[in-house]
A and B are shown apart, each in its own frame.
Chain A
Amino acid sequence: MSNLKYIFLAACLLSFNSCKKFLEKTPQGVVSDDQFFADEKNVDLAVNRIYGTLSWREYTIGRQFFSTHEMGGEDFIGSSNNGIGTTLNLFQSFTYDASQGFLQQYWDRTYANLNFCNQVTDRTAAMKNRELAEKSEAQAKFFRAYYHFELVNVFGQAPLRDHVPTSPEEYDIPKSNEEALYALIISDLEYAIAHLPTKSQWGTADNGRITKGTAQGLLAKVYLFRQDYAKAQQYANDVMTSGEYSLFNDYRLLFSPSNLYSSENMMPGGYEFTSTIWSGRWYNPYLQYQGVSGEFGDGVLYPAQALVDSYEAGDPRKEATILFKGETVEGWTSKDASTPKDGTVHFPSNTNIANKKVTWPKSYWNNGEYSFQDVNPMFLRYADVLLIYAEASNELGQAGNALPVLEQIRYRARGNKSYAAAGVLPEITTTDKVQLREKIWHERHIELALEGHRWFDLVRYEKVSPGYTVNLLKNVYQRTAFDYNRHSKFPIPLAMITSSQGILTQNDAWK
């Protein structure tokens, strides 16, 4: 019996005295946010996550990007031989609806990115290291503005997120109108301008970070979209006078993987091929969907003939933007039996052209794979800012300010030559506001072709010059289903409307 006593004793000790401790397991292999951010410098890691998602998979460089930023315009066309291409073409024929999955994914990722921003901004107020706090907050606020600006352009009205929800009551919230969204975008960018280092202050090691100039450039664009031309001109001018950025001397090489951090790139992407990270740093969707079907890339979408036809005679940017049938890609050996093995590319039956901005000699192809090229879109570049300046100036009746800046763009396009020397792209001289406006819009179209600007611009042009976009799409390109009122903004994803149960409502035109 005495043995038994000890067993009972042991059991009782186990059960009562130490039971509370026994069930408390400190998390293994995970770190709580309290512990993590107790070390203030870790806020940097949270900022890094914002950058890390900028060129991650489909969102900014894949199908969600193409569907919301390009397909409504005339520059791209999806391949009808391909499921994704066919789906992308729904955005071209305006036959998509609110249940379209790409819209849902776009929504999800935009708000996920806003959360990454707010995870930073919610923590900076309590930080003791004010310099670090402000620098971090400024970067986070820039991106918060960037993504809210995306939301305004894609959906028009959308829920506004300026902090991480503190309780489930804040989960399901109604849309904010454009005014409220813009108010936040502008104040966030003003904060960013006030607190961000310039490009040179950041220094080379921080290449790739957004700068005071990036924030000024984006704010200029925001005001352009608001048709507040004085402010657009002012902020564009701030960038131009800062001396931090300049046009890169070669239009073709501007897009080269070697020149990710060129003097012109104000907001570089963050894709770099990494063989050990198979998710997002492996196949680059930006390239994977392009290329030439049967040869390299999937050929999900191609530049459209409409773009080719838009170039002025002899514009060297056409050659730099479009890969034509018969051209060669250095180092390439065609897979097609009857095609010469001298770099010539065999085109499938449904296209004779491809996007050359993303097609580089095979020496750039990591592991010999087209889709592994370190190619990123430039989310903001100096030429864009110059064109904003030119457009704003023209709208303000200052054609004299617009023309020299426009000529800067065309001068570079000619290969840093005057019209007299190059014989192509005559200098624009008109001071007629309407004529010049169309010249500037044409220049935007060509200069920034295939870079994800066209659709937002087309929607904006209709507001500036009623009938312009409707005429272009319906009459010129015969896209009869287009209804500006409805298609200028995408519907809020159906699943979100359903799950919200009445709080989040569909855009009127999509009801």
Chain B
Amino acid sequence: MKKSLFLYLQACCPALLFFLCVLLIPGKDYAQEKTVTGIVKDSSGNPLPGVRVTVKNAKGGTITSAEGKFSIVVPDSKGVLVFNMMGSATQELFTDGSGPLSVTLRSEAVGLQDVVVVGYGVQRRSDLTGAVTSLKAADITKISGSNAAEALQGKAPGVQILNVGQPGNAPVVRIRGIGTNGDPNPLYVVDGMFVNDIQYLNSHDIASMEILKDASATAIYGSRGANGVILVTTKKGKNGKPVFNFSGSEGFQFLTRRYKVADASQYATLQNMITGTSTYPDPASLGKGTNWLDESTQKGWVRDYQLSIAGGSENVSYNISGGYFKQQGVMKFTDYDRFTLRANNEYRLSKRLKIGHNLSMSNSNITGVGSSAGARVFNALVRVSPLIKVYDDNGNFNPGQDPDIINPYAALYYGKDANNNSLRFVGNGWLNYEIIPGLAFRSSYGIDYAYDRYHYFEPAYTISSPNQIHANNSLTENHVNNKTWLWENTLSYDKQIGNDHHLNLLAGITAQDGYYNKLEGVGQNLAFDYPDYQYLGAAPAGGVSVTSQAYSESMLSYLFRANYSFKDKYLFTGTFRADGSSKFGPNNRYGYFPSVAVGWRVSEEDFMRKLSWVDNLKLRASWGQVGNNKINNYIAYSSVIQDPVYNALFNGVYYSNGTVVSTANPNIKWERTEQTDLGIEFATLKKRLSIEFDYFNRVTKDLLLIIPIPGGSTGITPTYSNIGSIRNRGFEFLVNWNDHIGDFSYGVTFSGSTYKNTVLNFGNQIITGSQWMSGSVHRGEKGQPIGYFYGYKVAGIFQSDAQIAEYNNKNDQGKPYQANAKPGDLIYADIDGDGYITGNDQTNIGSPHPKFIGGLTLTAAYKNFDFAIDIMGSFGAKIWNSARNQINSANTNLHVDWLNAWTPTNTNTDMPRLAANTSNSWGSSFNVQDGSYGKIRNVELGYHLSSELLNRIRISNLRLYINLTNPLYITKYKGFSPEVANVSPLEMGTDFSTYPVSGTARIGANLTF
């Protein structure tokens, strides 16, 4: 036994260096079997789950629970307990059978922890057969944003995060590419509750986030796991006296990048060029003019406070916290605030029975950008004339110089009262009963209740017709209720059989039921603008329209998992879930999702012992099928649409209507994603260097797709069918280096990932998408990446009439090569080879998918100082820059690049001639730009105040820090921000109405007492 423990130590997981400290408790002798209970914690008092506890020289054993607790039968009522955690030394402890015991394992390591949370349980990292990335609390709170998922950016290989600039909006999260044409966001599971997003969570409440990527890890989530799963575990109480934790920070947001738009004198120059006149005889005299960007943006204040109290005794533990977060946007009149409350408690009612709850409340407000002109704000910002002032001499808003171009400041101003209030309760209560040692029954009942209210009073105004006019004041009131309950019942059994076999089984039944309803009212012509009298009742009869809608859905699931390890060298995991869903057609009510995985800890083999430099080597492989059920309800049913928009007019009176506009699909079912993953984990140089590498091949079949009806002559809107197939394959790696030189310790983490997205089949159809008004065209088509940009390929610029004539000779039908071509126009490539340009010459002009995403984290600590910097980059993705080439009217301001437009005297340029409504405005590769970027994600410098000083004022820990988030981008992209976050794969990479991503500077303090 001693030898095997020693070998354990040799083979421990690379990034984890736990040293055990042995606590010997003298005891008395008893001559019979006795159950000993206890808790295992790390040096900072956090409970450690997944620690193997065995009795020396005896069979059997157990593993500590998620709360770090264990219960073990000691045969002779006394003996030596052996605590072993992967990657750490073994610790032995004599027991006389009394308890409960408190064991502390001390850690000096930074980086990945030993134990990871997996679906419906925890596992030692060394036992994992799946691809799982973990992020701990310290990494999550470094990011200034409101949504904890932002912390994953550049940190978790295989995860692509695109930040959204608007305060209070969740980032776009994609795990291992895009395997769906629908919503590619992953499933979030917070303390066992399934939620669509984690915007309601306070980042400070999170203990860890686990990203489950391969099928072995996600298949336990069945029909909801195909986009990957992010498990969020919130902080629990610890045994001990109350610990108060206070953290607070204050800072501001700033615009990291600016769009280089022409100032007044440049604008005048451009206007003279575009109109071919001398409307502005002396452009230079006009100076800078109005800087609309400065007028419309601000340094937004950001503040974040949280107070938590955690503690516990033998039978009760608690963690209660309250937080307040406030963020003003970089755009004026936009902000977000959120209050959160949480109580995670646990009660031991008897030796075998524990109950507990995780209760959370949040109340948040998103304010601004609500005006009916809202979607045009960001476009107008870079097109409005700098010769126009925000206000006229009478203090009224000036219109933009063209009906299409609104006054962006005014639009923000009139949107200031748009308020999205979200009140949310997510909580569950659970019960855990240990039937016999190793066999536990757990039942958990949770509720997710969300009440969202949108309230927007928009006053009457007339700035310009038709796009910035609100003839009557209006009030919009939307009320949305969303209620879900989830009841999960699981049995788990953990058994060590002899020294060689370890078995862990899990089986469960879960049921979920959700109900959604929405009431929406719009009133016009309210009697007053008075803020306290903004109710629908204030609108005159006939001035109110009210609609409502509802849906309900339910799921019933059976799940099973087996983990088996032999000699800690050969690992096997098998999972299975059956999901029944009301969303699926009656013919396909149940989906079955299996996975298998194997692991081989090569470094544990005898023949590897000789290679002393190999500290860890593990190979793993997994295969499985997972589903995606993000489809609308009732697709299986043919239904009647009653849309008042199409009411019939008889004798001047509108009459309601109803008809069938779309097809139904009674066979509708989940998308099935089949994923194979091959992984290798390696550690060397005394585990200072660790490397993890994964290859994955993820193929989505039965993709839910609305494909156009071939021929398009039915007049019926097609509905979803399970027809498409998409493949994502690629690799990801994580390299970690940790060391210290005396008092100076440091770490380097380099992560990278890549995926290649290919549409294998879209029912032989081409799917087309575009963002409203943006002019971009995205396609999904066999053999191409989903959402690629479709348009004309630029082959140069016509330099002369002679060259145009030369091109006109390319066909023998006497057709002009390119209609109305003039010198200075872009030359489009003749893709179909017929000698002239038609719609057929459009082709793939770029992919919005990155080729490589990487992150680099450097950490260093010296005495009381700590420092961390995160750098990340995204390479190879293309962006459709809508605004730069939007010249459908001469009345537009432009990017300064246009100062270098082609003219007969300025021919050595890549900018075409400047004129409105020419072929240069067509959707072409001229609009597609390289969106590669490198950025500083985060920099933080912290200082721990010396403890002697603090002890005097009874503070156990005080750390002060300064932090910069997103302070710098390095990119050639000529828009606001190369992070363009559109959820739909068929809008991916279109930069049209993107709220610019901002930087944040903060100072803060963490205080423990």
Is the CB of A494 closer than 8 A to any CB of chain B? yes
Q: Shortest CB–CB separation between residue A469 and chain B, in angstroms? A: 22
In residues 605-662 of chain B, which contact A (Cβ within 8 Å)? 633-634, 637-640, 642, 644-652, 654-661
Task: Determine whether the beta carbon of B554 is less than 8 Å from that of A27.
Answer: no
Is the CB of B917 closer than 8 A to any CB of chain A? yes
Stretch at the interface among A244-252, A430-438, A458-466, A497-505: A497-505
Which of A48, A86, A99 touches B838 (beta carbons < 8 Å)? A99
Q: Shortest CB–CB separation between residue B852 and chain A, in angstroms? A: 34
A-B pair number, CB within 8 angstroms: 257
Residues of chain B within 8 A (CB-CB) of A110 are: 715
Task: Determine whether the beta carbon of A275 is less than 8 Å from that of B543.
Answer: yes
From B543, B550, B661, B710, residue with most partner A Cβ within 10 Å: B710
Task: Determine whether the beta carbon of B658 is less than 8 Å from that of A296.
Answer: no
From B525, B640, B765, residue with most partner A Cβ within 10 Å: B640
In residues 329-371 of chain A, which contact B (Cβ within 8 Å)? 367-371
Stretch at the interface among A179-187, A200-208, A310-318: A200-208
- Measured in the bound complex, the distance between the Cα atoms of B552 and A22 in whole Å is 11
Task: Determine whether the beta carbon of A208 is less than 8 Å from that of B660.
Answer: no
Q: Which residue of B lies closest to A159 (CB)?
A: B713
Q: Which residue of A lies closest to B547 (CB)?
A: A29
Task: Determine whether the beta carbon of B640 is less than 8 Å from that of A99.
Answer: no
Residues of chain B within 8 A (CB-CB) of A83 are: 888-889, 917, 921
Q: Which residue of B lies closest to A52 (CB)?
A: B646
Q: A19-B580, A86-B917 are in contact. Are A272 and B652 (CB under 8 A)?
A: yes
Residues of chain B within 8 A (CB-CB) of A153 are: none
Stretch at the interface among B105-113, B463-471, B684-692: B463-471
In residues 820-858 of chain B, which contact A (Cβ within 8 Å)? 838-840, 842
Is the CB of A396 closer than 8 A to any CB of chain B? no
Is the CB of B101 closer than 8 A to any CB of chain A? no
Q: Which residue of A lies closest to B460 (CB)?
A: A367
Q: A23-B556, A23-B580, A165-B714 are in contact. Are A48 and B433 (CB under 8 A)?
A: no
Task: Determine whether the beta carbon of A164 is less than 8 Å from that of B716.
Answer: yes
Q: Shortest CB–CB separation between residue A405 and chain B, in angstroms? A: 30
Residues of chain A within 8 A (CB-CB) of B888 are: 82-83, 86
Which of B433, B582, B649, B712 touches A4 (beta carbons < 8 Å)? B433
Task: Determine whether the beta carbon of B511 is less than 8 Å from that of A32.
Answer: no
Is the CB of A429 closer than 8 A to any CB of chain B? no
- Measured in the bound complex, the distance between the Cα atoms of B372 and A11 in whole Å is 51
Is the CB of A97 closer than 8 A to any CB of chain B? yes
Q: Shortest CB–CB separation between residue A377 and chain B, in angstroms? A: 14
Is the CB of B281 closer than 8 A to any CB of chain A? no
Task: Determine whether the beta carbon of B634 is less than 8 Å from that of A27.
Answer: yes
Task: Determine whether the beta carbon of A56 is less than 8 Å from that of B543.
Answer: no
Task: Determine whether the beta carbon of B715 is less than 8 Å from that of A45.
Answer: no
- Measured in the bound complex, the distance between the Cα atoms of B647 and A271 in whole Å is 10
- Measured in the bound complex, the distance between the Cα atoms of B711 and A494 in whole Å is 10
In residues 21-48 of chain A, which contact B (Cβ within 8 Å)? 22-25, 27-34, 36-37, 42, 45-48
Which of A23, A34, A48 touches B582 (beta carbons < 8 Å)? A23
The contact size tier of chain B is 35 or more
Is the CB of B766 closer than 8 A to any CB of chain A? yes
Task: Determine whether the beta carbon of B714 is less than 8 Å from that of A22.
Answer: no
Task: Determine whether the beta carbon of A280 is less than 8 Å from that of B645.
Answer: yes
Q: Which residue of B lies closest to A208 (CB)?
A: B650
Is the CB of A81 closer than 8 A to any CB of chain B? yes
In residues 572-587 of chain B, which contact A (Cβ within 8 Å)? 580-582
Is the CB of B443 closer than 8 A to any CB of chain A? yes
Stretch at the interface among A114-122, A190-198, A410-418: A114-122
- Measured in the bound complex, the distance between the Cα atoms of B643 and A280 in whole Å is 12
Q: Shortest CB–CB separation between residue B778 and chain A, in angstroms? A: 14
- Measured in the bound complex, the distance between the Cα atoms of B708 and A171 in whole Å is 10
The proximity string for A residues 91-122 relative to B, scoring 1 for CB distances below 8 Å and 0 otherwise, is: 00001011110000001101111111011000
Is the CB of A305 closer than 8 A to any CB of chain B? no
The proximity string for B residues 319-331 relative to A, scoring 1 for CB distances below 8 Å and 0 otherwise, is: 0000000000000
Residues of chain B within 8 A (CB-CB) of A280 are: 645-646
In residues 900-949 of chain B, which contact A (Cβ within 8 Å)? 916-917, 921
Is the CB of A495 closer than 8 A to any CB of chain B? yes
- Measured in the bound complex, the distance between the Cα atoms of B517 and A108 in whole Å is 32
Q: A206-B651, A208-B650, A275-B524 are in contact. Are A27 and B639 (CB under 8 A)?
A: yes
Residues of chain A within 8 A (CB-CB) of B811 are: none
Is the CB of A132 closer than 8 A to any CB of chain B? no
Task: Determine whether the beta carbon of B645 is less than 8 Å from that of A279.
Answer: yes
Task: Determine whether the beta carbon of B657 is less than 8 Å from that of A496.
Answer: no
Residues of chain A within 8 A (CB-CB) of B372 are: 278
Q: Which residue of A lies closest to B651 (CB)?
A: A207
Is the CB of B522 closer than 8 A to any CB of chain A? yes
The proximity string for A residues 452-472 relative to B, scoring 1 for CB distances below 8 Å and 0 otherwise, is: 000000000000000000000
Q: Which residue of A lies closest to B545 (CB)?
A: A276
Q: A81-B889, A283-B466 are in contact. Are A499 and B765 (CB under 8 A)?
A: yes
Residues of chain A within 8 A (CB-CB) of B515 are: 28
- Measured in the bound complex, the distance between the Cα atoms of B549 and A29 in whole Å is 5
- Measured in the bound complex, the distance between the Cα atoms of B719 and A171 in whole Å is 13
Is the CB of A281 closer than 8 A to any CB of chain B? yes
In residues 163-215 of chain B, which contact A (Cβ within 8 Å)? none
Is the CB of B509 closer than 8 A to any CB of chain A? yes
Task: Determine whether the beta carbon of B509 is less than 8 Å from that of A501.
Answer: no
Residues of chain B within 8 A (CB-CB) of A368 are: 471
The proximity string for B residues 500-517 relative to A, scoring 1 for CB distances below 8 Å and 0 otherwise, is: 000000000101010101
Q: Which residue of A lies closest to B636 (CB)?
A: A27
- Measured in the bound complex, the distance between the Cα atoms of B917 and A86 in whole Å is 7
Which of A33, A53, A56, A271 touches B638 (beta carbons < 8 Å)? A33
Is the CB of B284 closer than 8 A to any CB of chain A? no
Is the CB of B25 closer than 8 A to any CB of chain A? no
- Measured in the bound complex, the distance between the Cα atoms of B709 and A108 in whole Å is 11
Is the CB of B602 closer than 8 A to any CB of chain A? no
Residues of chain A within 8 A (CB-CB) of B443 are: 7
Is the CB of B472 closer than 8 A to any CB of chain A? yes
Q: Shortest CB–CB separation between residue A158 and chain B, in angstroms? A: 7
Is the CB of A274 closer than 8 A to any CB of chain B? yes
Residues of chain A within 8 A (CB-CB) of B524 are: 275-276
Residues of chain B within 8 A (CB-CB) of A81 are: 889-890, 916-917
Is the CB of B819 closer than 8 A to any CB of chain A? yes
The proximity string for A residues 151-165 relative to B, scoring 1 for CB distances below 8 Å and 0 otherwise, is: 000000011010011
Is the CB of B764 closer than 8 A to any CB of chain A? yes
The proximity string for B residues 462-498 relative to A, scoring 1 for CB distances below 8 Å and 0 otherwise, is: 0001100101100000000000000101000000000
Q: Which residue of A lies closest to B433 (CB)?
A: A4
Is the CB of A49 closer than 8 A to any CB of chain B? yes
Is the CB of B865 closer than 8 A to any CB of chain A? no
Is the CB of B257 closer than 8 A to any CB of chain A? no
- Measured in the bound complex, the distance between the Cα atoms of B465 and A253 in whole Å is 27
Is the CB of B435 closer than 8 A to any CB of chain A? yes
Is the CB of A69 closer than 8 A to any CB of chain B? no
Residues of chain A within 8 A (CB-CB) of B711 are: 159, 171-173, 496, 499-500, 503-504
- Measured in the bound complex, the distance between the Cα atoms of B716 and A116 in whole Å is 9
In residues 271-312 of chain A, which contact B (Cβ within 8 Å)? 271-272, 274-281, 283, 288, 296, 298
A-B contacts, 16 listed (Cβ < 8 Å): A4-B441, A23-B581, A23-B582, A28-B552, A32-B640, A45-B642, A97-B838, A99-B839, A112-B716, A116-B715, A172-B711, A208-B649, A272-B649, A277-B644, A280-B645, A496-B713
> Given A22-B554, A45-B657, A369-B469, 10 other A-B contacts at CB below 8 A?
A14-B509, A23-B589, A25-B553, A29-B549, A30-B640, A31-B640, A32-B637, A33-B638, A296-B465, A496-B713
Chain A interfacial positions (CB closer than 8 Å to B): 1, 3-4, 7, 11, 14-15, 19, 22-25, 27-34, 36-37, 42, 45-53, 55-56, 80-83, 86, 95, 97-100, 107-108, 110-116, 118-119, 158-159, 161, 164-165, 170-173, 204-209, 260-261, 270-272, 274-281, 283, 288, 296, 298, 367-371, 493-496, 498-501, 503-504
Across the A-B interface, give the 9 residue pairs with the lowest CB-CB distance, nearest first: A99-B839, A115-B715, A83-B888, A52-B646, A111-B715, A51-B648, A48-B648, A367-B471, A48-B657
